[in-house]
Amino acid sequence: RNLPAKQVYLFWSILKKDKNDWVIQKATELGVHKLIPIYSERNEKQGFNEDRARKIIIEAAEQSGRADIPAIREPIELNEAINEYATKMPLLICEQHESNQLSISGVDKLGVLIGPEGGWSDTEKELFKQHSLNHINISQFTLRAETAAIVAVAKLMSG
């Protein structure tokens, strides 16, 4: 059983039910350290089931041979998430066509924020600027939110 070398915290805008399940399962298989579902301006506001999420995490951790079980917290507003975590680790915003040159080698703990299907609102983008958050471009193509979450975790875990 293995422990991941890097602690990746996945913050994702809550999606429709089965898409959340998929993100939770795959992120767990890839070695994510903590899952933080967030409320953003353009996402689902209800229907997130923490008990169901925990069950999926445990099954995925066992299936993938992980020595640990990633934590999941109750959904949190985007601004609260940034206020709570931005001082503890680098937070990266997934944005197509936007990227700051940022080296993550040697960084053992970081967070990645995945926006909702409709993208981040202007207010949310302003919030990212105020906190000087870095952007990471994970694909030349426009990805669905659930795909972006998995690609981002995979890239950061191996980076």
| Domain ranges, ordered by start, for the chain | 7-158
User: Looking only at Cα atoms, what is the longest distance across the chain?
Assistant: 43
CA separation, residue 17 to residues 21, 22, 59, 117 (Å): 7, 9, 17, 13
Question: In which band, very low, low, confident or very high, does the pLDDT at 43 lie, cut at 50, 70 and 90?
Answer: confident
Over the stretch 58-75, which tens digit does the pLDDT of each residue have? 999 999 999 899 999 999
Which pLDDT score is estimated for 3? 66
Q: pLDDT tens digit string along 88-143?
A: 999 999 876 655 556 666 778 999 999 998 889 999 999 999 999 988 888 888 88
pLDDT at 127: 96
Architecture of domain 7-158: 3-Layer(aba) Sandwich (3.40)
pLDDT at 97: 60
pTM: 0.92
Phi-psi region of 119 (alpha: psi -120 to 50; beta: other; left: phi over 0): left
Place of tokens 């301006």: 41
Q: pLDDT tens digits for 5-26?
A: 789 999 999 998 789 999 999 9
